[in-house]
């Protein structure tokens, strides 16, 4: 018993092997395999097959899912309707993006009914107090502790029995029995394991903050993703004030939902209608911009797509995409050239999605193409038009999902014309057709000519 075994784990993808490699055989990253020691106790535990029983699914008591609301709709929605008791939630994001702010801020609402324990390994109690004042968090039910020893913290949680725990951050926690340095993969993995046991045993939900490194991976704990119940990423450009919260994994809800926040002088503010924010500030009478509509979970979101086609100075034209897939942009340019008669072969082409949003749905194709053509022809797209549709390799505009929902939202936001795929048109209700002008198109050229006519 207690024998230790050595293994090597990739910090990028979590691949493990008994042998060390310079390059990870799974994700091909170099120099990412780290040595970890695991005890062999598990293998020697002797549970006899005759001692085991399996329950039928209806023998298992069906307690109602117990969820705590956080007082922030945007966060609740990303969590799938609030915090599930006993769940372990990883909140990842770049340093300084606002993870600690978000967690501290929800304490005020949670503290009205629940006992919250906030454990920080990064800031002193005094610093947390200053921040809490700034965020108007004064609840008596918030308990703050600065500690890094995870075993002690876990014991404290078991005896104090708070209703919710926040650990800020997992990179600063350590297990003293473990030889490796704080923040290493072994430490992070072990600490998360201890927290997981603690959360499940006491049925207490625990938030874990995890910093993301330069490459966009959770520093080390990419390997944590499979251990926790939910992984939320806090994204956004630090220069801009918008922040987008996205679920990368959620055992208790959908991963399609996003929450949008704005960082202000007194903490994060929810943005209930992100579309208004994303399309505000659109330049007047400028060519090369078009409004796109994508579905983020159950919500249609509008964003401004900007395209710029400029004569190239070099042999090879440059293509650049921010917020849109680079390869897909190249494909769209090829389709525009070969199938629609818009020549970009001697043009640099740039695409930018305003506000830091990522358009990763095919429905955004049409607006990207229209924005580029608008720039190429130097023709202004009127600001009451939106366009969506997937573009196929034959230059055709293909149908998309949730068409009625997108049109309904466009009408609500005050747009007066929608360019949609022809195949979607027959399924649109008469009521909607009366509310807003709907123009079905089957090619990119048809779309562009309809918009500017």
Rounded to whole angstroms, how far apart are CA atoms 232 and 77?
Answer: 12
Which does residue 297 touch among ligand TYD, Mg ion, none (CB within 5 to 8 A, set by kind)? none
Q: What CA dihedral angle connects 175, 179, 184 and 187, to 10 degrees?
A: -20
**Residue 349's binding partner out of ligand TYD, Mg ion, none, with CB under 5 to 8 Å set by partner kind:** none
Under the binding rule (CB under 6 A), the answer on residue 81 touching ligand TYD is no
CB 51 within 8 A of CB 29: no
Q: Which does 263 bind (CB under 5 to 8 A by kind): Mg ion, ligand TYD, none?
A: ligand TYD
Q: If binding is defined by CB under 6 A, does position 300 make contact with ligand TYD?
A: no
Cis before 169 (ω within 30):
yes
For 387-435, the DSSP string reads: E--EE-TTSBEEP-SSHHHHHHHHHHTT--EEEEEHHHHTTS-HHHHHH
72 interacts with ligand TYD by CB under 6 A: no
Residue 263 interacting with ligand TYD (CB under 6 A): yes
Among ligand TYD, Mg ion, none, residue 131 binds (CB under 5-8 Å by kind): ligand TYD
183 binds ligand TYD (CB under 6 A): no
Query: Residue 101, interface with ligand TYD (CB under 6 A)?
Result: yes
By beta-carbon proximity to Mg ion, the closer residue of 120 and 424 is: 120
Using CB under 6 A as the binding rule, whether residue 134 contacts ligand TYD is answered as yes
Is residue 383 within 8 Å of residue 282, measured between CB atoms? yes
Return residues touching Mg ion (CB under 5 A): 100
CA distances from 311 to 257, 283, 316, 334, 344 (A): 40, 22, 11, 17, 9
d(CA 180, CA 189): 12
Find the part of the chain contacting ligand TYD (CB under 6 A) among 94-102, 332-340, 354-362, 417-425: 94-102
Show Cβ contacts of residue 84 under 8 Å, excluding neighbours closer than 6 positions: 65, 66, 67, 205, 229, 252
Residue 172: CB minimum distance to ligand TYD, A: 11
Task: Find the shortest distance in angstroms from Cβ 320 to ligand TYD.
Answer: 28
Out of 93, 323, 421, 440, name the contact with ligand TYD by CB under 6 A.
Answer: 93
**Beta-strand (E) ranges in 253-374?**
258-264, 267-270, 289-296, 299-311, 319-322, 347-353
Closer to ligand TYD by Cβ: residue 4 or 214: 214
- What the block records as the tokens of 80 is 């799938």
Quick check: 216 binds ligand TYD (CB under 6 A)?
Answer: no
Which of residues 168 and 365 has its CB atom nearest to ligand TYD in the complex? 168
Question: Which residues sit at the interface with ligand TYD, rule CB under 6 A?
Answer: 93, 95-101, 131, 134-135, 263, 265-267
């Amino acid at each position: 018993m207690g024998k230790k075994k050595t293994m090597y784990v990739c910090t990028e993808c979590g691949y493990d092997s008994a042998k060390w490699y310079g390059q990870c055989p799974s994700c091909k990253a170099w120099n990412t395999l780290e040595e970890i020691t695991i005890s062999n106790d598990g293998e020697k535990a002797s549970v006899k097959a005759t001692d085991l029983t399996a329950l039928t699914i209806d023998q298992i008591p069906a307690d109602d899912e117990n969820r705590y609301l956080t007082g922030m709709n945007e966060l609740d929605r990303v969590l799938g309707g609030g915090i599930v008791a006993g769940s372990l939630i990883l909140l990842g994001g770049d340093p300084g993006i606002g993870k600690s702010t978000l967690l501290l801020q929800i304490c005020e609402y949670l503290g009205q009914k629940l006992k919250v324990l906030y454990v920080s390994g990064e800031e002193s109690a005094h610093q947390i107090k200053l921040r809490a004042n700034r965020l108007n968090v004064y609840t008596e039910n918030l308990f703050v502790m600065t500690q890094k020893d995870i075993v002690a913290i876990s014991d404290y949680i078991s005896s104090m029995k708070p209703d919710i725990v926040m650990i800020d951050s997992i990179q600063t926690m350590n297990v003293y029995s473990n030889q490796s340095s704080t923040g290493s993969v072994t430490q992070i993995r072990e600490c998360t394991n201890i927290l997981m046991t603690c959360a499940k045993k006491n049925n207490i939900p625990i938030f874990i903050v995890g910093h993301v490194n330069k490459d966009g991976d959770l520093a080390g704990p990419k390997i944590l993703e499979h251990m926790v119940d939910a992984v939320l990423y806090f994204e956004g450009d630090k220069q801009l004030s918008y922040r987008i919260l996205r679920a990368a994994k959620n055992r208790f809800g959908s991963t399609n939902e996003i929450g949008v926040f704005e960082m202000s002088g007194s903490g994060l503010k929810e943005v209930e209608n992100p579309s208004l924010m994303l399309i505000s500030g659109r330049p007047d009478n400028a060519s090369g911009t078009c409004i796109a509509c994508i579905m983020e979970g159950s919500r249609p979101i509008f964003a401004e797509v900007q395209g710029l086609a400029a004569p190239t100075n070099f042999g090879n034209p440059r293509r650049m995409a921010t917020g849109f897939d680079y390869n897909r942009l190249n494909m769209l340019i090829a389709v525009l050239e070969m199938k629609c008669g818009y020549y970009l072969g001697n043009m640099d082409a740039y695409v930018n999605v305003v506000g830091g949003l990522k358009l990763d749905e095919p429905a955004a194709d049409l607006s990207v193409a229209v924005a580029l053509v608008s720039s190429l022809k130097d023709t202004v797209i009127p600001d009451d038009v939106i366009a969506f549709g997937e573009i196929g390799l034959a230059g055709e505009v293909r149908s998309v999902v949730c068409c009625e929902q997108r049109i309904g939202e466009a009408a609500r936001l005050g747009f007066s014309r929608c360019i949609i795929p022809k195949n979607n048109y027959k399924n649109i209700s008469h009521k909607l057709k009366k509310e807003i002008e709907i123009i079905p198109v089957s090619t990119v050229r048809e779309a562009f000519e309809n918009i500017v006519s």
